[in-house]
Amino acid sequence: MALSAFVGEVQRGRKADDTGLDPQTQAPFFAILKEERQKHQPLAASDTKWLVGLTVQLVAAIRAEVGVVGFWKNAHAQEVLRGAVFTFLDDHEIVPFDSADAVADRMLELAKANHAKLVKP
């Protein structure tokens, strides 16, 4: 019974929350960033606002790249984007340097899984 409720929730998609992020495109990325950040330090209210702003920037950059025709068939383009995400995470000190590689990988996996939503006008 609990599983069927969960499946229904997943199929309906994320609901809007108080972050103001798009529940279909931005919120999943925010969830990963928040989860990873909290592994290393508690998240204060001001950190949440800061993380929301960074999520908007990051998703905009990802959308611009994955929207290119044939992006997921171009290994070089994917590696360039992964490197850019890694640099973004490091430059803004969202996660520790030694975690940024794995988080960048998760971001690309999420982008691939949500490709249709990300490229939608």
Question: Does residue 121 register a pLDDT over 80?
Answer: no
Question: Does residue 46 register a pLDDT over 90?
Answer: no
Q: Can you give the pTM of this predicted structure?
A: 0.83
Other beta carbons less than 10 A from residue 37's beta carbon: 21
State how far the Cα of 73 lies from the Cα of 100, in Å rounded to an integer.
24
Domain ranges of the chain: 22-119
Mean pLDDT of 6-27: 69
Could you give the count of Cα atoms lying within 13 Å of 31 in the half-sphere of its Cβ? 13
